[in-house]
Amino acid sequence: MQQIAVLLLLMDKHLIFFFSIAICLSACGNGGDKEVNLRLTSKERREIDTLVAREVRMMRPLMDSICTANFNELVAAATDSIVQRRLEEELRLRARIPLENGRSDD
């Protein structure tokens, strides 16, 4: 009797496993390859635009406060990036200039 219970328990686990695999595999079909052609009416576009505008208005104070809090870091990162690019450009241009008489003005 105990062996039958263990066998049924193992079968249940295997059945659950196989059903889980089957569901996962069926969910991974070629749905990504299909092109979705969705046309919205002008009323639907206006509704979506209204919803997005409302959400943006609600989020704007938060976005502005994040920008204000991170402003100095963002400017420093942008400045460092610009300076780094200019230095790389200068090195690239200097490498193109042939050295006269084997000396440089550095």
Which pLDDT does position 25 carry in this prediction? 57
Q: CA 33 to CA 70: how far, in whole Å?
A: 40
Task: Indicate the pLDDT class of residue 97, thresholds 50, 70 and 90.
Answer: confident
Least confident of 6-10, 54-58, 89-93: 6-10
For 27-81, the pLDDT digits (tens) are 555 555 677 678 889 999 999 899 989 988 888 888 888 888 888 988 898 899 9
Contacts of 48 (CB under 8 A, 6+ apart): 40
Query: Could you tell me how far CA 9 lies from the centroid of its own chain?
Result: 43
- Entry pTM: 0.35
